A and B are shown apart, each in its own frame.
Chain A
Amino acid sequence: MKFWKLHRGWLYPFFFLLPAVAIFGTVIVSSAVQSIWISLYTWDGIGPKVWVGVDNYVELFQDAQFYTSLRNNVIWVLMFLLAPAIGLAIALAVNQPIRGMRLIKSLFFVPLVIAPVAVGVIFVWFYDPSFGLLAKIFGWFGAPSPALLSSEKYVTISIVAAALWSQIAFCMILFLAGLSGIDESVVNAARVDGARGWKMLYHIVLPQLKHVNFLAIAVSVIGALRSFDIISVMTQGGPFGSSTNLAYQMYQQSIFSYRFGYGAAIATILFGGVAIFITWYLYRLLRDERN
């Protein structure tokens, strides 16, 4: 008992932190470190590992598919940044106190309820060049249906458009929550001072949404970088790898080509990219909290 009394100053935090640190350590940190370690070997996932140093990275940087994947990741991130903007616009629109808005709000909310895999399947049917809705719409105008998922040029954009559908809904919810937390008195005071429309939005509403905005951007960027399921469902990275991104290439190399070392090298590069972003995110977060 004496020991406890003497040391409880650090024992309490130690025991409370232990489960979280242990789980985070095993599930996240050690597996990340291990996968960096594996990236220095060739390994089929079962047999013996063979040390190859940085060979996997050398090969990766000569792999045309790697640059396609990287380009697709950039397209994902850039297009996903539309989600906060459009989400904000919709949130402002449906936040009006008009009859029936609740219904419209919930309609906008629907895509978020659907699992990403289901969203993928819906859009595959939508894009289908023989009987999809898109083909029908083009048919009304007498135009031949575009096979978006067969086109090297448009396939990634088409997949991101599908993913955006639910991401926008998610950002909208964030902004709606943010809007409900806006200080009415400030808004009223601004109104007395004659602020209307754009001025009201730009000088009064947006500054108060700063935190939400930051969060929406961060979540969208991370969402874009880890996108995987919807690619798998819609195209399996095809046609011939043109919609593959880094996460999908890693999966393909590891699981289908039995190249865990090479897959781990891709994972490490992706990890580096995400780490840069998260560092920036944490830096901003901590700075804001300190102020």
Chain B
Amino acid sequence: MINSRNPSRRDLVKLGGQGLAAVAAGSLGLSALAQDAKKLTVISDRSNPNTQATLAAIAKAFEKETGVSVTINFIPLEAHKTAIRNYLVVGPPDVCFWFSGNRMRSFVKMGLFDDISDLFAKEKYLNVLGLAAEAVTVDRKQWGLPTHGMPWGLVYRKDVFAENGLTVPRTFADFKIMGDKAKTSGLVPMAMGTKDMWPAAGWFDHLNLRINGLDRHMSLMNGEMSYQDPQLTPVFDRWEELIKANFFLPNSTSFGWQQAGAFLVQKKAAMMNLPPFVQNIFPENERSLLGFAPFPEIVPGVGPFENISYNSIHIPSGSKNKGLARDFLAFFYRPENLVQFLKSEVGLSPRNDVKEPPNVLLDQAREAFKNIKGSAQFYDRDTDPDMAQVGLNAFQEFMVAPERRKAIQERLEAARKRIYKT
């Protein structure tokens, strides 16, 4: 520790030498890459080992077909969120994974993603994509391909529901009855882990979509509606009702979603409000017991609108092989390859001409969402990233201290005014 703070001159000279050597090696590597047009680099944030293997297999097949060698670099999901800002500017790959919606839009606005409308036109993707195409569209142009959608809903164990005589709630009143009954059986009604903050926003989204509907939800997300608007009062009211009735796992801020999900696995909680990837924490032989239910109706006649978060794949505007990158995207997006990818990730197919692999939760979600009238993505993809940071913090706080509602709404509104400059 002392050494690192008062390094000797010799140490510094050594350090400088190493640094120069590293820089030299780095620039050599880059220029070598640039000269060889038959090479493609991909950066992926999909850390699930099955997906990594699947992507490697797809890359290999592409290599075989075109003779272009593909290198895939994997960066863990959370680290990738910060790394992408650097590499898009200093050393963009040819293809990268990201999230659609507003998180994509902010890079589009900075001019860091390439417009791939030409690829959409050539491959006629708009005919097969349906709603998912909106997630990657900005100013009527397409800036990426949605890879898989994650429908948000209530996940539960059918055996726990049967053992405790619980019924799947269709309305908010049912929901409260279910919760009270769960509590008398010694279950936590809703498993909840807000250590990483974002799961709390799932509640805000659902409540607002069920009470105010999609249009007003989106105008809030786009910064056109005040966070102190009286229309939001019933949203916070319903939420507070649930919090005050002890519906949520106590000390939820201490748990990540996986730890909170353990309560569901161990039959200590009734339900959890997340996308189907929750199944990954269940032992394989218990996954068939899982049930998926849409969030209950609150105001009759509103919706149904749901949250479906789409992840996506993009071509950075700094890519040196934009043509090849388009070929790779088209190859990846062929139904037979996309199916392999969907098998490894737990997600809905963005293409409607794909025969989707069977999956217990997704099959139920697809059925439940058949008649939805529209969909949002998720709070941190639907609103500005800066606003999302403030919002996620606020929702986490509200779930712990609902009595601070007024101060929280004031803070949200101040942030909205600053970010959207109204």
| Chain A residues with a Cβ under 8 A of chain B | 16, 19-20, 22-24, 44-47, 59, 64, 127-130, 147, 149-150, 170, 215, 219, 222-223, 235-236, 238-241, 252, 255-259
A256 to B106, CA, bound (A): 12
B195 touches A47 (CB 8 A): no
Q: State whether A240 and B397 are in contact (beta carbons under 8 Å apart), knowing that A23-B15, A44-B110, A257-B386 are contacts in the complex.
A: yes
Q: Identify 9 residue pairs between A and B in the complex whose beta-carbon atoms are under 8 Å apart, listed by A's number.
A: A23-B16, A46-B88, A46-B89, A59-B418, A129-B254, A147-B253, A150-B400, A219-B2, A255-B82
Contact partner, B5, options A20, A222, A258, Cβ 8 Å: A222
Task: Specify which chain B residues have a CB less than 8 angstroms from the CB of A223 in the assembled complex.
Answer: 1
- A-contacting 9-mer, from B147-155, B287-295, B388-396: B388-396
* Cα distance A44–B1 in the bound complex, in angstroms: 34
A-B pair count, CB < 8 Å, reads 83
A-facing residues in B308-327 (Cβ within 8 Å): none
A19 CA to B18 CA, complexed, in Å: 13
Given A23-B16, A252-B389, A258-B386, A236 and B195 contact (CB-CB distance below 8 Å) = yes
Q: What is the predominant secondary structure among interface residues of chain B facing chain A?
A: helix
* Chain B neighbourhood of A222, CB < 8 A: 5
What chain A residues lie within 8 Å of B112 (beta carbons)? 46
**A residues within 8 A CB of B251?**
129, 147, 150
Contact of A149 among B12, B16, B253 (CB under 8 A): B253
Once the chains bind, are A236 and B196 in contact (CB under 8 Å)?
yes
Task: Mark out the residues of chain B between 252 and 295 whose CB falls within 8 Å of any chain A CB in the assembled complex.
Answer: 252-255, 259
Contact A47 B110 (CB under 8 A): yes
Q: Cβ of A20: which chain B residues have Cβ within 8 Å of it?
A: 9, 12-13
**Which of A64, A128, A147, A236 interacts with B250 by CB under 8 Å?**
A147
Q: Which residues of B contact A16 (CB under 8 A)?
A: 9
- Provide the bound-state CA to CA distance between A130 and B418, in Å: 40
Q: Which residues of B contact A46 (CB under 8 A)?
A: 85, 88-89, 110, 112
**How far apart are the CA atoms of A223 and B255 in the complex, in Å?**
28
- With A46-B112, A150-B253: A239-B397 Cβ-Cβ less than 8 Å: yes
A241-B385 Cα distance, complex, nearest whole Å: 17
Contacts of B252 in A (CB 8 A): 150
Chain A residues within an 8 Å CB radius of B88: 46
Tell whether B197 is near chain A: CB-to-CB under 8 Å: yes
A238 and B385 within 8 A (CB) = no
Give Cα distance in the complex from A128 to B193, angstroms: 13
Q: State the Cβ distance, B95 to closest chain A Cβ, in Å.
A: 20
Complex CA–CA separation, A141 to B254 (angstroms): 22
Q: A257-B385, A257-B386 are in contact. Are A24 and B12 (CB under 8 A)?
A: yes
B16/A238 in contact, CB under 8 A: no
Contact residues in B for A238 (Cβ distance below 8 Å)? 195, 197, 253, 393, 396
Which of B85, B110, B250, B254 has the most chain A CB atoms inside 10 A of its CB?
Answer: B254
Please report the C-alpha to C-alpha distance between residue A47 and residue B88 in the assembled complex, in whole angstroms.
13
Nearest-Cβ distance from residue A197 to partner chain B, whole angstroms: 31
